[in-house]
Amino acid sequence: MKVKRSALSFEQIADDSTSDSCRKPAIVFAVSDQGCGIPANKMAEIFERFHQIDASASRRKGGTGLGLSICRSIVQQHKGHIWVESRLGQGSCFYFAIPQINIPLTNSKR
């Protein structure tokens, strides 16, 4: 995969337990490529374990179909969200958002 760009930004994401009007700050990561793209009817499946869009291409390039499933699991463990936007023949952009947490600074006297 040729990585076209990598981005880091701060956005607001909705918390599943609140209404859409209540939003939490999040750090959003984006990685895009100029590959062959993903068919719209396959986008929901690519985050499933052992799923490969084209097994013949995966055999040539390697892979078990676990990478995106592992990514989804890690992101969910951090209460985040992962998704993809893709166009056939133009490539894909994968995003994940992790809620920002504020850790108070403490003055420790040692």
Domain ranges of the chain: 3-99
Predicted confidence at residue 47, as pLDDT, reads 83
Predicted confidence at residue 93, as pLDDT, reads 96
Return the residue matching tokens 């990478």.
67
- pTM score, whole prediction: 0.65
Low-confidence ranges of the chain (pLDDT < 70): 1-23, 51, 54-62, 108-110
Residues 15 and 93: their CA atoms lie apart, in Å, by 23
Homologous superfamily assigned to 3-99:
Histidine kinase-like ATPase, C-terminal domain (3.30.565.10)
**49: alpha, beta or left, given left = phi > 0 and alpha = psi -120 to 50?**
beta
